[in-house]
Amino acid sequence: MAERAQQSVPEAPDTPGEEVAQEQEQSSGGGRRLLARLLLVVLTLGPTAAGAWLAYFYYPSLAQAAEQFSGTDDDTEEEAKPVEYGQFMELQGFIINPAGTDGTRYLMINLGLESADGGVLEELKEKEVVVRDTVLKLLGQRTVEELADIGLRTELKQELRDAVNAVLRKGKIDRVYFTQYVLQ
């Protein structure tokens, strides 16, 4: 029995310093594992908790959120009517030297013209030379800065539409589209 009692008792370290070193190794390894697990839990649950918090404060009720995401909101007004397009004609190959460039810069565009009346497109074909000249004059008066400004494109389209409509007698152009717009 004495032998069994000696086997169950752990061996005592030879010096007191070794005992402290063994305890530190065991506790530091366990502390690192605990810290790694804690970090894993925080990184996993953190985004989930943040999403739940945002959902709680941005959606006053779950019913409103369900309506918003399902598209069954009864308070919405009539759906926007789809745009009805007319007939199209494309004028290609415009090359314009912008104002103040002395021919060192150019704008290359193609225009799409839309009209609800097919007779207008026939008149455009007959007067294509005059329409092309009108477009070249109008855009040739603009500087590179004006032509490069994306915010002015809507204004340019309106001016082009008005200028082309001034040439026409049987009807009018409803919309102008840039089907190509290259500024070099």
**Whether residue 94 sits in one domain with residue 53:** no
Q: Print the domain residue range for 145.
A: 87-183
**Whether residue 109 sits in one domain with residue 61:** no
Token pair for residue 125?
């074909």
On whether residue 76 sits in a domain, the answer given is no
pLDDT string in tens for the chain (184-residue length) = 455 545 555 555 555 555 555 555 555 566 788 888 888 888 888 787 777 766 666 655 555 655 655 555 555 555 678 888 899 999 999 999 999 998 899 999 999 999 998 889 999 999 999 999 999 999 999 999 999 999 999 999 999 999 999 999 989 999 999 999 999 9
Q: How many domains does the chain have?
A: 2
**Whether residue 172 sits in one domain with residue 98:** yes
Which residue(s) pair with 143 in the sheet?
Answer: 99
On whether residue 80 sits in a domain, the answer given is no
Q: Exposed (0-12), middle (13-18) or buried (19+): which is 36, by Cβ within 10 Å? A: exposed
**Contact (Cβ atoms closer than 8 angstroms) between residue 106 and residue 97:** yes
* Alpha-carbon radius of gyration of the chain: 39
- pTM score, whole prediction: 0.56
Q: What angle do CA 124, 125, 126 make, to 5 degrees?
A: 90
Residue with tokens 């082009």: 160
Q: Indicate the helix (H) or strand (E) that contains 178.
A: strand 175-183
